[in-house]
Chains A and B, each alone.
Chain A
Amino acid sequence: MKKLVSLVFLMIVSTWSVTVDAQIKVVTTYPYIGDLTQKIGGEKVDVFVLGKGTEDPHFIVPKPSFIAKLRGADLLIINGADLETGFVPILIQQANNPRIQSFKGFLDLSQQIKLINVPVQVSRSEGDIHPEGNPHFALDPHRISILAKAIKEKLCGLDSNNCRTYEKRAGDFQKHWEEKTKEWDQKLSALKGTRVIQYHQLFNYFIAAYQLSVIGTIEPKPGIPATARHIDELIGTVKTQKGAFIFQDVYHERKSARFIAEKTNIRDILLPHDVGAVPEAKDLFSLFDEIVRRLTD
């Protein structure tokens, strides 16, 4: 018993000594937010990401180990717009950390974005719809800069001594990002007007940005798995409307897309939706590089 007590004590002391150094502890829900925060904060921040790029962002499990991470966080950054409803509130509730429950230590990125696909009526008979609008805005590269700015502001608010550093890093990032965005815009301009099918309404912002058009989703309603009849209807739609691509995400089943592709002779492309979704998407830049590469190859 004595040994156990001293062991626990030692652990507590050791973790305390880690907190003494000046790094800001940031917890983010998704890898893309983590990457963006790391790029702006550099070595001044210590970032922990809850979800993995390979997971369905709607269903991250609120594991107890996440509670321990949130306990020590100075800042929690979420995507927002209802995407994290299934795990963030319950984690905050158990984390016993007042810092992330006040304005200073919490950032909801969706507040910076004018959301699209806002439903006029909200009913669960239409599946798992997001009442505030489509939350997958990070897939439009034109909206990343505004997020970077918001993160920079937040870091400056928490750590005014290093605000200069954050401003500089954010400025550098934005410059680089704008250059890359031009390059992606140019490469993707050829796709304008292309008709696509996707599993979930995941790529809507990307599709809107590059003026593609969606002719259907493999799931009949958000969060409801595909049915044979719905797939048949989709095949009909693809045939009459001459669809060109199926955007397949990494976490849903791939059989349905494969089946439609085979029946209609269109391409099903596995597209990463977040950093880490495929091995090539190592950060935000390579995420969009990879999306562009897979679409234009």
Chain B
Amino acid sequence: MKRILIPILLLPFLMVPRSYGSDIEVRLEALEKIIQEQQGIIEKQQQEINELKARTGMNKESNVAESATTSPKQKESGGPLKVQVKDLAYPTTPIEQKYSERLKALEIYSFPQGKLIPDISFIVDGSFIGRGMNDESYRRLTVPDFIPSGLSGSNRGFNLNYGEMALYAPVDPYFDLAAVIPFSESGVELEEAYFRTKMLPWGLQLKAGKFRSSFGRLNVQHRHVWDFADAPLINRAFFGEDGLAEKGVHLNWLAPTPFYLLLGGEILQGENTASFGTSSLSLQKNGLTFSKDSAPGPNLFLGFLKSSVDIGSLSLLGGFSLAQGQSRQSLSVGSGTQAAYGDAKIYGFDLTAKYFIDSYRYLSWQNEFMFRQRRLNVGYDPAPDDLTQNLSIYGKDLNQSGLYSQLVYRFAERWRTGIRYDLLSQNDVYINSVTQSRPGDLNRISAMLEFKPTEFSTLRLQFNRDNSLFDGDRREPVNSIFLQFNMAIGAHRAHAY
């Protein structure tokens, strides 16, 4: 460009006769004429550019129509065409200029990957809790033989339950990667981090890493999609506060049936101590030893079957699950320490019936029943510092079951209400094969009302009447009220049914 400009600027001096040199007005006139000529040339060129632009096709639809007539194979590799069209849509000169300026300053990075950022979302969950009992007394309570150690639970007043980051993106054509990272005030953990396959044949899918187990209905779901602020009693008793999330592999097979039928199995490390656990144990006192090696990993084996049919607007989903593994447990009971090893088997049945009234309203009835069988060898040290009290070692067998049943009604686009009944229905305990007397009728009833302005925000009011808690041998009914919020920002994947 500069090379052209210099002769142009020099032109008047070269062309204008020397005798006119002193007459400024004449020189200016000549200059004006030349500028006008130049103007004409520029306009003509601009016109040509516009015509060329029109011919290459600025209109996306006419372009697609054209490319649609080419063979599909050509279309598949037709990426560059789109790019070309896009580039033309920008005014070229100013950007070119900027670009060359930045290029000079070496500010251009040739390998931007900004568009490859995975779906990132962050969820915050907080609550205000009112409870008819102080926090210390509440933590001392147990659900006999179901939740034997103190309840972790939340404090009265304000609680920040969690902030949870979720990441999701395809790794390549063959795998997707997902991670769920809950933050608490005291630290960070990796609740889930796994890959899943996309391209396996015959309806198979493999998942490996750490993930929430597909046992039953509720366990696989994240807390923020639950219908109530807390987990059902039976889930908490058998899988702990955070549910069954373990390292391992998961394989499922979607049967080629006209209705939904999913069969799957999981091999997991089995570190969840609510029913399983792998760590070695040892109690020693006065020459007496109670110990057991760590359980071999993997320790937990699961199988499940899920099926679903639709009857008009009614959708039924049912499942059967089985989990089996070794148990290693060590916990403090009163002032003493208890260690136990053995094995555990859990059977689960779930049934969900959901009736869709229209796009915004439904009635959902969800039920889960679980049965757990445990054969344990228990060592109990009533007072570790007191050498006068000996270890007691005995066999303990437990057959326990429980269920929850919940009815949730979404009665308007932004409103839901529901009730839930928890019942720990069976608590048969045998010590050295002798039947023990244990309190029955461990139940809880909950009711909630939820305002959901959009799918990204939830405000929930919940009331619990808990009749399952004991202070030693004394039943302590506890009433609590929750006012909870849950909000999500960012790119968060839609949830499974």
- Quick check: A64 and B256 within 8 Å, CB to CB? no
Q: Cβ of B61: which chain A residues have Cβ within 8 Å of it? A: 112-114, 146
The answer to whether A146 touches B64, judged by C-beta atoms less than 8 angstroms apart, is: yes
Asked if residues A90 and B493 are in contact (CB atoms below 8 Å), the reply is: yes
List B residues 370-428 near A (Cβ within 8 Å).
413-414
Whether the Cβ atoms of B496 and A62 lie closer than 8 Å is yes
Nearest CB of B to A118, in Å? 12
A65-B260, A68-B261, A101-B198 are known contacts; what are 13 more A-B pairs with Cβ within 8 Å? A12-B256, A56-B360, A62-B496, A65-B308, A72-B256, A93-B496, A101-B199, A114-B59, A146-B61, A149-B68, A154-B72, A225-B414, A251-B358
Interface residues of A in 1-33 (CB under 8 A from B): 8, 11-12, 15-16, 19
Q: Are A71 and B414 in contact (CB under 8 A)?
A: no
With a cutoff of 8 Å between Cβ atoms, the chain A residues found around residue B65 in the complex are 146, 149
Q: Are A68 and B258 in contact (CB under 8 A)?
A: yes
Please give, as numbers and ranges, the residues of chain A lying within 8 Å of B53 by CB-CB distance. Answer: none
A184 contact set on B, CB distance < 8 A: none
Q: In chain B, what residue has the closest Cβ to A71?
A: B254
**With an 8 A cutoff between CB atoms, is A259 at the interface?**
no
Q: Tell whether B359 is near chain A: CB-to-CB under 8 Å.
A: yes
Q: B253-270: which have CB < 8 Å to A?
A: 253-261
A156 to B68, CA, bound (A): 12
CA distance A100 to B178 in the complex (A): 21
Q: B434-455 vs A: 1/0 string, CB under 8 Å? A: 0000000000000000000111
Most chain B beta-carbon contacts within 10 A, residue among A68, A72, A128: A68
Q: Does A96 contact B (CB under 8 A)?
A: yes
Task: Type the 1/0 row for A138-149, where 1 means its CB is closer than 8 Å to any CB of B.
Answer: 000000001001
A63 interface residue (CB < 8 Å to B): yes
Verify A67–B254 contact, CB threshold 8 A: yes
Contact B315 A65 (CB under 8 A): yes
Q: Once the chains bind, are B356 and A61 in contact (CB under 8 Å)?
A: yes
Judge whether B60 is part of the interface by a CB distance below 8 angstroms: yes
Q: List 26 A-B contacts (CB under 8 A).
A: A8-B255, A12-B255, A59-B359, A61-B356, A63-B308, A64-B315, A65-B310, A67-B254, A68-B259, A68-B308, A71-B203, A85-B494, A89-B493, A95-B254, A96-B252, A96-B254, A98-B200, A111-B64, A112-B61, A112-B68, A128-B454, A149-B65, A149-B68, A153-B75, A154-B72, A224-B453
Least Cβ distance of A224 to chain B in Å? 7
The 9 closest A-B pairs by CB, nearest first: A64-B308, A56-B359, A64-B260, A157-B72, A68-B260, A114-B60, A98-B199, A96-B254, A96-B203
Q: Judging by beta carbons under 8 Å apart, are A225 and B413 in contact?
A: yes
* From A68, A128, A150, A224, contact of B257 by CB (8 A): A68
A223: nearest chain-B partner, CB-CB: B454
A140 to B46 alpha-carbon distance, docked (Å) = 35
Q: How far is the CA of A208 from the CA of B75 in the complex (A)?
A: 29
B315, A63: Cβ atoms under 8 Å?
yes
Q: Which of A96, A103, A128 contacts B205 (CB 8 A)?
A: A96
Tell me if B109 is interfacial: C-beta within 8 Å of chain A.
Answer: no
Could you give, for residues 169-206 of chain B, a 1 whenever the CB lies within 8 Å of some chain A CB and a 0 otherwise?
A: 00001001000000000000000000010111101110
Chain A CB within 8 A of B99 CB: no
Evaluate contact between A62 and B256: CB separation under 8 angstroms.
no
B residues 202-259 with Cβ under 8 Å of A?
Answer: 203-205, 252-259
B interface size (C-beta, 8 A): 51
Partner of A15, one of B72, B256, B317, B494: B256
Q: Which residues of B contact A (CB under 8 A)?
A: 59-61, 64-65, 68, 72, 75-76, 173, 176, 196, 198-201, 203-205, 252-261, 306, 308-310, 315, 317, 356, 358-360, 413-414, 453-456, 489, 493-497
Is A59's CB under 8 angstroms from B204's CB?
A: no
Query: Given A63-B315, A153-B68, A68–B176 Cβ distance below 8 Å?
Result: no
Q: Is the CB of B259 within 8 A of A89?
A: no
Contact-residue size bin, chain A (C-beta under 8 Å from the other chain): 35 or more
Q: Which residues of A are found within 8 Å of B495, using beta-carbon distances?
A: 90
Q: Are A63 and B204 within 8 A (Cβ)? A: no
Chain B contacts for A101, CB-based, 8 A: 198-199
Q: Which residues of B contact A255 (CB under 8 A)?
A: none
| A152: nearest chain-B partner, CB-CB | B68
> Which chain A residues border B196 with CB–CB below 8 Å?
93
User: Which residues between 46 and 96 of chain A lie within 8 Å of chain B, taking CB atoms?
Assistant: 54-56, 59, 61-65, 67-68, 71-72, 85-87, 89-90, 93-96
A15 touches B204 (CB 8 A): no
Hey, which chain B residues are within 8 Å of A150, CB to CB? 68
What are the interface flags for A108-147 relative to B under an 8 Å C-beta threshold, 1 for contact and 0 otherwise? 0001111000000000100110000000000000000010
User: Which residue of A is nearest B170, CB measured?
Assistant: A101
Q: In the docked arrangement, what's the CA distance between A68 and B309, Å?
A: 10
Chain A hits for B59, CB < 8 A: 114
Query: In the assembled complex, how far is the CB of residue B308 from the closest CB belonging to chain A, in whole angstroms?
Result: 4
A286 interface residue (CB < 8 Å to B): no
B residues near A213, Cβ cutoff 8 Å: none
Complex: A97 Cα to B199 Cα, angstroms: 7
Partner of A93, one of B176, B253, B261, B489: B176
Q: Which residue on chain B has the smallest CB distance to residue A128?
A: B454
Which of the residues B173, B200, B254, B493 comes within 8 Å of A68, measured between beta carbons? B254
Known: A96-B252, A98-B199. A89 touches B494 (CB 8 A): yes
Q: How far is the CB of B352 from chain A (nearest CB, A)?
A: 10
Given A149-B68, A251-B358: A15 and B258 interface contact (C-beta under 8 Å): yes
Chain A positions within 8 Å of B256 at CB level: 12, 15-16, 19, 71-72
CB neighbours (8 Å) of B359 from chain A are: 55-56, 59, 251
CB neighbours of A153 from chain B (8 A): 68, 72, 75
Contacts of B309 in A (CB 8 A): 65
Would you call A156 and B254 a contact (CB within 8 A)? no
- Please state if B200 and A64 are interface contacts (CB–CB under 8 Å): no
Asked if A65 contacts B259 (CB within 8 A), the reply is: yes
Name which residue of chain B comes closest to A11, CB basis: B257
Q: A12-B256, A12-B257, A153-B75 are in contact. Are A61 and B497 (CB under 8 A)?
A: yes
Contact B60 A96 (CB under 8 A): no
Contacts of B204 in A (CB 8 A): 96
Report how far A149 CA is from B495 CA in the complex, Å.
Answer: 33
Residues on A with C-beta less than 8 A from B68 are: 112, 146, 149-150, 153
- Chain B residues with CB under 8 A of A15: 256-258
A266 CA to B299 CA in the complex, in Å?
71
Q: How far is the CA of A173 from the CA of B465 in the complex (A)?
A: 64
Q: Give the complex CA separation of A65 and B59 in angstroms.
A: 41
Residues of chain B contacted by A127 (CB below 8 angstroms): 454
Q: How far is the CB of B353 from chain A (nearest CB, A)?
A: 12
Chain B nearest Cβ from A123, distance in angstroms: 11
Q: CA of A54 to CA of B358 in the docked complex: distance in angstroms?
A: 8
Complex CA gap A128/B258 in Å reads 35
Note all chain A residues with C-beta closer than 8 A to B176: 93
* Option from B358, B453, B494 in Cβ contact (under 8 Å) with A87: B494
- A292 vs B317: C-alpha distance when bound (angstroms): 42
What are the residues of chain A within 8 A of B205 when measuring CB–CB? 94, 96
Are B76 and A103 neighbours in the complex by a CB distance under 8 Å?
yes
Give the chain B neighbours of A86 by CB distance below 8 A. Answer: 455, 494
